[in-house]
Each structure stands twice: as C-alpha cells, then as structure tokens.
C-alpha cells in the first residue's frame, strides 16, 4: 500500500479509484465493512481501492487536548488498512486551510481534479467541508454532476442495536474491558511505540521489560494485562510473543508519565530501539503499591502465571 500526504500529482495508476472516506480511527468492524463495500466496487470496475483520511484527526485540530484519544495513530492505521487490501491511503493534512474548504471546493479540487475518483463510499451520516456544511445529499448531487458514484453505508451493529463506534471502544478501554473492545474492533487493540531505555528495575527482579511511552495514542486503564507482542520491522511483524504488561505510573517507583512495561515470556534478545505492537488481551488487576520488594516480586510472578493461563486459552 502506498501512503500519500497530498492529493495532487497522484500517479496515473491510482486515478479512478473507489475511495472510502472517513477517519477510520481504530479500523473497527464498521470501518472494515465499509471498506469491504468499496473493495467490491473497485474490483468490479478493475479500479484501485483507496482510503481518504485526515492527519491530524479533525477533532485534534478543533479541540486540542494534552491527552490523546486516538485508537490508531497513522502508522498503526496504515498497517491495518494494508491488511485489508487497500492500494493507497491518502492521509491528507488537516489544517486551517483544509478546515476552510467549502464542500464544493473539497469535491472539485480534492476528489475530482486531485484524486480523479470513480466512486466514493461513506457512512450514512457523512458530513464534510467548512462547518460541516456538506452531507450525503451534497456529495451525491455533486457526484452526479462530476461523474462519480456515491454509496452510503449503513451503521454496523455488534449485537441487537449496539452501534459499533470508536467512541464506545475508547470507553471500553478506559474501563479495563479490552476483550469487549476487541469484539467491536475485530482485532485486539494494541499500543505501538518504540522501546526506550528504562531504569532496568525489572531485569534486577528477574522480569526484564520493554519500556514504551504511548505518545500520540489513547491511554487505557492503568493496570496489568495479559498481552501478545509483535516485534515490527517496517510495516510488518517479524515475530510474535506472549507476555504480561503493566501500564501506569508504578506506585512504588513513580514515573512522571504513564509507561507501558512489557515482559515477553521465554524471550532473550535486545529490543532497544525496536517498534513493538503490544496487544491487550485481558485485564488482570489494577496497579497497586506493595509493602516491600519481595511482595512486589511475588505479585509479578503471580501476574505472569495468570497471563500465561489466560493466553493459553486465547487464540
């Protein structure tokens, strides 16, 4: 999959694409269904399949906050989209200029003259352009005028009338319910970051950890998790390992910024500087402060045993 941060000078081979348009934060089951519809149309037309999204997320531009809400920063999102067979990701810069674009300007200059799309697939509640003045009716009318199709995709539900949404998934992760988040995502939610040097306390206790700051990513509930870890090289995983992780401020040895500390089972190697994708499989317990080092080590052993038990039962 090719990634573009612009919409002009698009290669000829990618013009005429069927484009799924949206933020796709999390690339959850609803997003996947919408992209699958775009893929069906692209294959029928023998056209490329593309996704159009924005970086930063428009909400980050309009309502900046020190705490990130993003389920999938660009790197993680791109890999998930590539796994769905997307040919190109147009991650367009969302800035003041983009925010000022009228719906008509966005359609004509970005979709028609820039990307040269043959079709657009969007959610039924799609809104776009300055002050969200454009909607599905606007896009459909301009599609008729400019020669591209528009498909509105219905909301996907998980069970009954439960709507699958990024907002609901974020809440589940904040409430220490990663299994439920994974059910709506269609895949385990993961923290992805580079391994940094730490204070080596885990190694002295017999449980060396890979330390990662989340950066531009949602902070889940503090506590201990059973995890699966992918070691990444470029855009692919080169190995996969079971493990146990603590996310938080370490009550006994407080850190100023929450830290993900992951112990990989039966692993002996140097992870410094590597990118890891740490999938949260199940929550084990909240963070706690212990009476002494021996009590902490005993609890870590118990957590590791519990994580092994959980992961042995989890595909």
Considering the domain boundaries, does residue 159 fall inside one? no
The dihedral through the CA atoms of 250, 255, 256, 261 has a sign that is: negative
The structural domain count of the chain equals 2
Residues 130 and 29 in one domain: yes
Q: Residue 211 pLDDT > 90, yes or no?
A: yes
pLDDT of residue 292: 87
pLDDT of residue 26: 96
Residues 147 and 188 in one domain: no
pLDDT band, very low/low/confident/very high, at 77 (cuts 50, 70, 90): very high
pLDDT of residue 155: 77
Residues 39 and 130 in one domain: yes
Considering the domain boundaries, does residue 161 fall inside one? no
Considering the domain boundaries, does residue 172 fall inside one? yes
Considering the domain boundaries, does residue 261 fall inside one? yes
Considering the domain boundaries, does residue 175 fall inside one? yes
Residues 116 and 195 in one domain: no
Q: Residue 136 pLDDT > 80, yes or no?
A: yes
The domain boundary, picked from 108, 125, 153, lies at 153
pLDDT of residue 66: 85
Q: For residue 258, which phi and psi values (nearest 5 degrees)?
A: -50, 140
pLDDT of residue 216: 86
CATH code of residue 261: 2.40.30.30
- Percent of residues in the chain assigned helix, strand, coil, to nearest 5: 35, 25, 40
Per the confidence metrics, is the pTM higher than 0.85? yes
The dihedral through the CA atoms of 82, 273, 94, 187 has a sign that is: positive
Quote the DSSP letter at residue 46: T
Considering the domain boundaries, does residue 158 fall inside one? no
Residues 115 and 181 in one domain: no
Q: Which domain holds residue 33?
A: 2-153
Residues 238 and 304 in one domain: yes
Considering the domain boundaries, does residue 135 fall inside one? yes
The domain boundary, picked from 98, 120, 153, lies at 153
pLDDT of residue 34: 96
CATH code of residue 73: 3.40.50.620
Q: Residue 199 pLDDT > 70, yes or no?
A: no
What percent of the chain has pLDDT above 70? Answer: 95
Residues 88 and 9 in one domain: yes
Residues 102 and 219 in one domain: no
Residues 200 and 78 in one domain: no
pLDDT of residue 202: 65
pLDDT of residue 250: 77
Residues 14 and 134 in one domain: yes
* Mean pLDDT of the 114-130 span: 96
* Mean pLDDT of the 148-162 span: 83
pLDDT of residue 201: 64
Which residue in the block uniquely carries the two structure tokens 């776009």? 128
Residues 136 and 264 in one domain: no
* Mean pLDDT of the 173-188 span: 97
Q: What is the mean pLDDT of the chain?
A: 93
Q: How confident is the model over 14-30, as pLDDT tens digits? A: 999 999 999 999 999 99
Which residues make Cβ contacts (< 8 Å) with residue 44, sequence separation at least 6? none
The domain boundary, picked from 129, 153, 177, lies at 153
Token digits for 238?
């080169």
Residues 19 and 85 in one domain: yes
Of 203 and 56, the structure prediction assigns the larger pLDDT to 56
Considering the domain boundaries, does residue 183 fall inside one? yes
């Amino acid at each position: 999959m090719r990634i573009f941060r612009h919409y002009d000078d698009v290669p000829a081979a990618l013009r005429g694409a069927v484009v799924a348009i949206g933020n796709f934060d999390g690339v959850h089951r609803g997003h996947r269904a919408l992209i699958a519809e775009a893929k069906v149309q692209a294959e029928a037309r023998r056209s490329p399949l593309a996704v159009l999204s924005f970086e930063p997320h428009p909400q980050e531009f309009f309502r900046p906050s020190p705490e990130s809400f993003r389920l999938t920063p660009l790197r993680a999102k791109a890999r998930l989209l590539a796994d769905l067979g997307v040919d190109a990701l147009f991650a367009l810069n969302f800035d003041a200029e983009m925010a000022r674009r009228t719906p008509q300007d966005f359609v004509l200059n970005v979709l028609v003259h820039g990307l040269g799309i043959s079709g657009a697939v969007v959610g039924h509640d799609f809104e776009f352009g300055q002050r969200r003045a454009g909607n599905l009716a606007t896009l459909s009318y301009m599609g008729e005028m400019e020669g591209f199709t528009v498909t509105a995709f219905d909301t996907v539900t998980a069970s009954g009338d439960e709507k699958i949404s990024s907002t609901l998934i974020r809440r589940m992760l904040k409430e220490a319910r990663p299994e439920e988040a994974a059910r709506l995502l269609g895949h385990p939610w993961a923290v992805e970051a580079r391994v940094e040097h730490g204070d080596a306390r885990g190694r002295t206790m017999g449980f060396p950890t890979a330390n990662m700051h989340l950066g531009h990513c949602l902070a889940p509930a503090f506590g201990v998790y059973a995890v699966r870890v992918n070691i990444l090289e470029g855009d692919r995983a080169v190995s996969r390992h079971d493990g146990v992780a603590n996310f938080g401020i370490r009550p006994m040895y407080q850190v100023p910024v929450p830290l993900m500390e992951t112990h990989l089972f039966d692993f002996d190697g140097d992870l410094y500087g590597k990118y890891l994708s740490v999938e949260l499989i199940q929550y084990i317990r909240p963070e706690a402060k212990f009476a002494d080092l021996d009590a902490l080590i005993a609890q870590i052993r118990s957590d590791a045993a519990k994580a092994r038990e959980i992961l042995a039962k989890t595909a």
